[in-house]
Structure 1
Amino acid sequence: MIEIERKFLVKSDAFKTDSFKKTRIIQGFLNSHKERTVRVRIKEEVGFLTIKGMSSKNGLSRFEWEREIKKEDAQALLKLCEPGIIDKMRYEVIIKNHTFEIDEFFGDNEGLVIAEVELMHETDIFEKPNWLGEEVTGNIKYYNSQLSLNPYKSWKQ
Protein backbone atom coordinates (compact mmCIF):
# COMPACT_ATOMS: atom_id res chain seq x y z
CA MET A 1 0.00 0.00 0.00
CA ILE A 2 3.02 2.29 -0.09
CA GLU A 3 3.55 3.78 -3.52
CA ILE A 4 7.13 4.69 -4.47
CA GLU A 5 7.52 6.73 -7.63
CA ARG A 6 9.61 9.38 -9.31
CA LYS A 7 8.08 12.05 -11.50
CA PHE A 8 9.62 13.91 -14.47
CA LEU A 9 8.65 16.48 -17.06
CA VAL A 10 8.76 15.17 -20.62
CA LYS A 11 10.72 17.12 -23.21
CA SER A 12 9.53 15.46 -26.46
CA ASP A 13 6.76 13.23 -27.74
CA ALA A 14 9.20 10.47 -28.76
CA PHE A 15 7.64 8.29 -26.03
CA LYS A 16 4.52 7.87 -28.18
CA THR A 17 6.29 5.60 -30.67
CA ASP A 18 7.59 3.42 -27.79
CA SER A 19 4.19 3.17 -26.10
CA PHE A 20 2.51 -0.24 -25.90
CA LYS A 21 -0.72 1.06 -24.33
CA LYS A 22 -2.77 4.26 -24.44
CA THR A 23 -5.68 4.98 -22.07
CA ARG A 24 -7.99 8.00 -21.70
CA ILE A 25 -8.43 9.03 -18.04
CA ILE A 26 -10.99 11.41 -16.53
CA GLN A 27 -10.61 12.12 -12.83
CA GLY A 28 -11.74 14.43 -10.08
CA PHE A 29 -11.08 14.91 -6.39
CA LEU A 30 -13.61 14.61 -3.61
CA ASN A 31 -10.84 15.92 -1.34
CA SER A 32 -7.59 17.55 -2.52
CA HIS A 33 -5.96 18.36 0.82
CA LYS A 34 -2.17 17.84 0.67
CA GLU A 35 -2.26 15.46 3.66
CA ARG A 36 -4.90 13.21 2.05
CA THR A 37 -6.61 13.08 -1.30
CA VAL A 38 -9.68 11.15 -2.39
CA ARG A 39 -9.75 10.64 -6.13
CA VAL A 40 -12.45 9.34 -8.47
CA ARG A 41 -11.16 8.09 -11.80
CA ILE A 42 -12.58 6.60 -14.98
CA LYS A 43 -10.15 4.66 -17.18
CA GLU A 44 -12.00 3.70 -20.35
CA GLU A 45 -14.91 1.57 -19.05
CA VAL A 46 -13.80 1.09 -15.42
CA GLY A 47 -14.08 3.34 -12.38
CA PHE A 48 -11.68 3.64 -9.44
CA LEU A 49 -11.77 5.23 -6.01
CA THR A 50 -8.33 6.07 -4.62
CA ILE A 51 -7.15 7.50 -1.31
CA LYS A 52 -3.60 8.83 -1.04
CA GLY A 53 -1.79 10.00 2.05
CA MET A 54 0.81 12.70 2.50
CA SER A 55 4.12 12.25 0.69
CA SER A 56 7.34 11.47 2.52
CA LYS A 57 9.78 14.37 3.01
CA ASN A 58 11.70 13.46 -0.15
CA GLY A 59 8.44 13.09 -2.10
CA LEU A 60 9.21 9.55 -3.24
CA SER A 61 6.62 7.56 -1.31
CA ARG A 62 3.17 7.77 0.18
CA PHE A 63 0.26 5.60 1.23
CA GLU A 64 -2.14 4.64 -1.55
CA TRP A 65 -5.38 2.63 -1.37
CA GLU A 66 -7.36 1.96 -4.52
CA ARG A 67 -10.49 -0.03 -5.38
CA GLU A 68 -12.24 -0.68 -8.65
CA ILE A 69 -15.83 0.57 -8.79
CA LYS A 70 -18.52 0.54 -11.48
CA LYS A 71 -18.13 3.18 -14.18
CA GLU A 72 -21.66 4.41 -13.41
CA ASP A 73 -20.74 4.92 -9.74
CA ALA A 74 -17.59 6.82 -10.74
CA GLN A 75 -19.62 9.04 -13.10
CA ALA A 76 -22.03 9.85 -10.25
CA LEU A 77 -19.15 10.61 -7.84
CA LEU A 78 -17.46 12.89 -10.40
CA LYS A 79 -20.50 15.17 -10.10
CA LEU A 80 -19.67 15.63 -6.38
CA CYS A 81 -16.00 16.43 -6.97
CA GLU A 82 -14.28 19.74 -6.35
CA PRO A 83 -14.04 21.98 -9.43
CA GLY A 84 -11.22 21.15 -11.84
CA ILE A 85 -11.72 17.80 -13.53
CA ILE A 86 -8.52 16.32 -14.99
CA ASP A 87 -8.62 14.97 -18.55
CA LYS A 88 -5.54 13.17 -19.85
CA MET A 89 -4.19 10.44 -22.10
CA ARG A 90 -1.87 7.95 -20.40
CA TYR A 91 0.81 6.21 -22.42
CA GLU A 92 2.74 3.25 -21.02
CA VAL A 93 6.33 2.54 -22.05
CA ILE A 94 8.56 -0.28 -20.82
CA ILE A 95 12.26 0.52 -20.47
CA LYS A 96 14.16 -2.57 -19.28
CA ASN A 97 12.47 -3.64 -16.01
CA HIS A 98 10.43 -0.48 -15.42
CA THR A 99 7.17 0.82 -16.81
CA PHE A 100 6.88 4.56 -17.36
CA GLU A 101 3.40 6.09 -17.30
CA ILE A 102 3.34 9.29 -19.33
CA ASP A 103 0.36 11.61 -18.93
CA GLU A 104 -0.46 14.09 -21.69
CA PHE A 105 -2.95 16.56 -20.23
CA PHE A 106 -5.86 18.27 -21.98
CA GLY A 107 -8.19 21.13 -21.11
CA ASP A 108 -6.85 23.60 -18.55
CA ASN A 109 -3.63 21.56 -18.25
CA GLU A 110 -2.96 21.25 -21.98
CA GLY A 111 0.74 21.49 -22.83
CA LEU A 112 1.84 19.65 -19.70
CA VAL A 113 3.31 16.16 -20.08
CA ILE A 114 4.54 14.25 -17.02
CA ALA A 115 6.17 10.82 -16.74
CA GLU A 116 6.11 8.67 -13.61
CA VAL A 117 8.03 5.50 -12.89
CA GLU A 118 7.01 3.27 -9.98
CA LEU A 119 9.80 1.64 -8.01
CA MET A 120 10.04 -1.26 -5.57
CA HIS A 121 12.53 0.65 -3.37
CA GLU A 122 13.45 4.33 -3.12
CA THR A 123 17.05 3.49 -4.09
CA ASP A 124 16.15 1.54 -7.27
CA ILE A 125 18.18 2.51 -10.33
CA PHE A 126 16.43 2.74 -13.69
CA GLU A 127 17.38 3.71 -17.22
CA LYS A 128 16.26 7.20 -18.18
CA PRO A 129 15.00 7.49 -21.75
CA ASN A 130 16.14 10.50 -23.79
CA TRP A 131 12.64 12.05 -23.75
CA LEU A 132 12.73 12.36 -19.95
CA GLY A 133 13.28 15.93 -18.73
CA GLU A 134 13.62 17.66 -15.38
CA GLU A 135 12.76 15.65 -12.27
CA VAL A 136 9.81 17.11 -10.33
CA THR A 137 9.41 14.36 -7.69
CA GLY A 138 7.95 15.87 -4.53
CA ASN A 139 7.01 19.17 -6.20
CA ILE A 140 3.39 19.41 -5.10
CA LYS A 141 2.31 21.70 -7.94
CA TYR A 142 2.69 18.71 -10.31
CA TYR A 143 0.35 16.48 -8.27
CA ASN A 144 -2.91 15.89 -10.14
CA SER A 145 -4.86 17.07 -7.09
CA GLN A 146 -3.08 20.43 -7.31
CA LEU A 147 -3.38 20.62 -11.10
CA SER A 148 -7.15 20.43 -10.61
CA LEU A 149 -7.00 23.49 -8.32
CA ASN A 150 -4.23 25.45 -10.05
CA PRO A 151 -4.11 24.28 -13.68
CA TYR A 152 -1.04 24.55 -15.86
CA LYS A 153 -2.60 27.23 -18.10
CA SER A 154 -2.78 29.61 -15.10
CA TRP A 155 0.96 29.34 -14.25
CA LYS A 156 3.12 32.26 -15.15
CA GLN A 157 5.44 30.97 -17.89
Structure 2
Amino acid sequence: MNRISLAAGGVLLLLCVVLSIAVNHYRDNAIAYKDQRDKATSALQLATDTINDMQTRQRDVAALDAKYTGELADAQANIDQLERDVAAGRKRLRLNATCTANGTASATGVDDGSGPRLTDAAERDYYTLKRRIETITSQLTGLQAYVREQCL
Protein backbone atom coordinates (compact mmCIF):
# COMPACT_ATOMS: atom_id res chain seq x y z
CA MET A 1 0.00 0.00 0.00
CA ASN A 2 2.88 2.19 0.76
CA ARG A 3 4.18 1.78 -2.74
CA ILE A 4 0.83 2.62 -4.26
CA SER A 5 0.52 5.73 -2.12
CA LEU A 6 4.02 6.73 -3.00
CA ALA A 7 3.36 6.17 -6.72
CA ALA A 8 0.06 8.08 -6.55
CA GLY A 9 1.82 10.94 -4.72
CA GLY A 10 4.55 11.00 -7.40
CA VAL A 11 2.00 11.04 -10.18
CA LEU A 12 0.11 13.86 -8.45
CA LEU A 13 3.35 15.77 -7.96
CA LEU A 14 4.27 15.27 -11.62
CA LEU A 15 0.78 16.35 -12.67
CA CYS A 16 1.09 19.52 -10.55
CA VAL A 17 4.45 20.37 -12.13
CA VAL A 18 3.09 19.83 -15.66
CA LEU A 19 -0.01 21.91 -14.89
CA SER A 20 2.15 24.65 -13.36
CA ILE A 21 4.32 24.79 -16.50
CA ALA A 22 1.22 24.90 -18.73
CA VAL A 23 -0.38 27.67 -16.64
CA ASN A 24 2.81 29.76 -16.74
CA HIS A 25 3.07 29.29 -20.51
CA TYR A 26 -0.50 30.46 -21.11
CA ARG A 27 -0.13 33.29 -18.60
CA ASP A 28 2.98 34.55 -20.46
CA ASN A 29 1.08 34.36 -23.75
CA ALA A 30 -1.83 36.31 -22.25
CA ILE A 31 0.56 39.02 -21.02
CA ALA A 32 2.26 39.23 -24.43
CA TYR A 33 -1.10 39.48 -26.24
CA LYS A 34 -2.26 42.15 -23.79
CA ASP A 35 0.89 44.19 -24.49
CA GLN A 36 0.35 43.84 -28.25
CA ARG A 37 -3.27 44.91 -27.85
CA ASP A 38 -2.30 47.93 -25.75
CA LYS A 39 0.33 49.00 -28.30
CA ALA A 40 -2.11 48.59 -31.19
CA THR A 41 -4.79 50.54 -29.29
CA SER A 42 -2.30 53.32 -28.55
CA ALA A 43 -1.19 53.49 -32.19
CA LEU A 44 -4.82 53.51 -33.35
CA GLN A 45 -5.68 56.34 -30.93
CA LEU A 46 -2.66 58.34 -32.12
CA ALA A 47 -3.69 57.85 -35.76
CA THR A 48 -7.28 58.87 -34.96
CA ASP A 49 -6.10 62.00 -33.13
CA THR A 50 -3.81 62.89 -36.05
CA ILE A 51 -6.62 62.45 -38.57
CA ASN A 52 -8.98 64.57 -36.47
CA ASP A 53 -6.34 67.30 -36.15
CA MET A 54 -5.70 67.27 -39.90
CA GLN A 55 -9.42 67.49 -40.64
CA THR A 56 -9.78 70.43 -38.26
CA ARG A 57 -6.84 72.19 -39.88
CA GLN A 58 -8.23 71.53 -43.35
CA ARG A 59 -11.59 73.03 -42.34
CA ASP A 60 -9.83 76.07 -40.85
CA VAL A 61 -7.72 76.55 -43.97
CA ALA A 62 -10.79 76.16 -46.19
CA ALA A 63 -12.63 78.78 -44.12
CA LEU A 64 -9.66 81.16 -44.39
CA ASP A 65 -9.46 80.57 -48.12
CA ALA A 66 -13.19 81.16 -48.57
CA LYS A 67 -13.03 84.35 -46.51
CA TYR A 68 -10.16 85.92 -48.41
CA THR A 69 -11.34 84.64 -51.78
CA GLY A 70 -14.70 86.27 -51.09
CA GLU A 71 -13.04 89.53 -50.08
CA LEU A 72 -10.94 89.46 -53.25
CA ALA A 73 -14.01 88.79 -55.39
CA ASP A 74 -15.80 91.73 -53.72
CA ALA A 75 -12.83 94.02 -54.33
CA GLN A 76 -12.63 92.92 -57.96
CA ALA A 77 -16.38 93.54 -58.38
CA ASN A 78 -15.97 97.04 -56.90
CA ILE A 79 -13.12 97.81 -59.29
CA ASP A 80 -15.12 96.51 -62.24
CA GLN A 81 -18.12 98.62 -61.18
CA LEU A 82 -15.88 101.70 -60.84
CA GLU A 83 -14.50 101.08 -64.32
CA ARG A 84 -18.02 100.78 -65.77
CA ASP A 85 -19.17 103.91 -63.91
CA VAL A 86 -16.23 105.95 -65.21
CA ALA A 87 -16.81 104.67 -68.75
CA ALA A 88 -20.53 105.57 -68.53
CA GLY A 89 -19.79 108.98 -67.05
CA ARG A 90 -21.48 108.34 -63.68
CA LYS A 91 -18.17 108.80 -61.85
CA ARG A 92 -14.89 110.48 -62.67
CA LEU A 93 -11.33 109.78 -61.76
CA ARG A 94 -9.84 112.72 -59.97
CA LEU A 95 -6.25 113.72 -60.50
CA ASN A 96 -4.12 116.01 -58.46
CA ALA A 97 -2.35 117.77 -61.33
CA THR A 98 -1.78 121.21 -62.73
CA CYS A 99 -1.58 122.07 -66.39
CA THR A 100 0.55 124.76 -67.90
CA ALA A 101 0.52 125.88 -71.49
CA ASN A 102 3.81 124.96 -73.18
CA GLY A 103 5.58 124.68 -69.85
CA THR A 104 4.80 128.27 -68.76
CA ALA A 105 2.26 129.43 -66.24
CA SER A 106 -0.99 130.44 -67.89
CA ALA A 107 -3.14 133.47 -67.21
CA THR A 108 -6.12 133.28 -64.93
CA GLY A 109 -8.44 132.46 -67.81
CA VAL A 110 -9.23 128.96 -69.05
CA ASP A 111 -7.32 128.05 -72.22
CA ASP A 112 -9.30 125.10 -73.48
CA GLY A 113 -11.82 124.47 -70.69
CA SER A 114 -10.70 120.90 -69.97
CA GLY A 115 -8.99 119.73 -66.83
CA PRO A 116 -6.20 117.24 -66.53
CA ARG A 117 -7.23 113.80 -67.74
CA LEU A 118 -5.63 110.38 -68.02
CA THR A 119 -5.09 108.91 -71.43
CA ASP A 120 -7.12 105.81 -72.24
CA ALA A 121 -4.05 103.59 -71.84
CA ALA A 122 -3.19 105.20 -68.48
CA GLU A 123 -6.78 104.71 -67.33
CA ARG A 124 -6.66 101.00 -68.24
CA ASP A 125 -3.31 100.73 -66.46
CA TYR A 126 -4.87 102.36 -63.40
CA TYR A 127 -7.55 99.67 -63.21
CA THR A 128 -5.02 96.92 -63.82
CA LEU A 129 -2.82 98.23 -61.02
CA LYS A 130 -5.79 98.59 -58.70
CA ARG A 131 -6.81 94.96 -59.38
CA ARG A 132 -3.28 93.71 -58.80
CA ILE A 133 -2.95 95.67 -55.56
CA GLU A 134 -6.23 94.19 -54.29
CA THR A 135 -5.12 90.70 -55.32
CA ILE A 136 -1.72 90.87 -53.63
CA THR A 137 -3.18 92.51 -50.53
CA SER A 138 -5.79 89.77 -50.21
CA GLN A 139 -3.23 87.02 -50.81
CA LEU A 140 -0.79 88.47 -48.31
CA THR A 141 -3.47 88.96 -45.67
CA GLY A 142 -4.66 85.37 -46.18
CA LEU A 143 -1.13 83.99 -45.90
CA GLN A 144 -0.49 85.97 -42.74
CA ALA A 145 -3.69 84.64 -41.20
CA TYR A 146 -2.73 81.11 -42.25
CA VAL A 147 0.68 81.44 -40.60
CA ARG A 148 -0.80 82.91 -37.41
CA GLU A 149 -3.58 80.34 -37.09
CA GLN A 150 -2.07 77.16 -38.51
CA CYS A 151 1.71 77.34 -38.27
CA LEU A 152 2.32 78.99 -34.92
- TM class, shorter-chain normalised? under 0.3
TM-score normalised according to structure 1 size: 0.17
Query: Which of the two has greater strand per residue?
Result: 1
Higher helix fraction: Structure 1 or Structure 2?
2
Higher Rg of the two aligned structures: 2
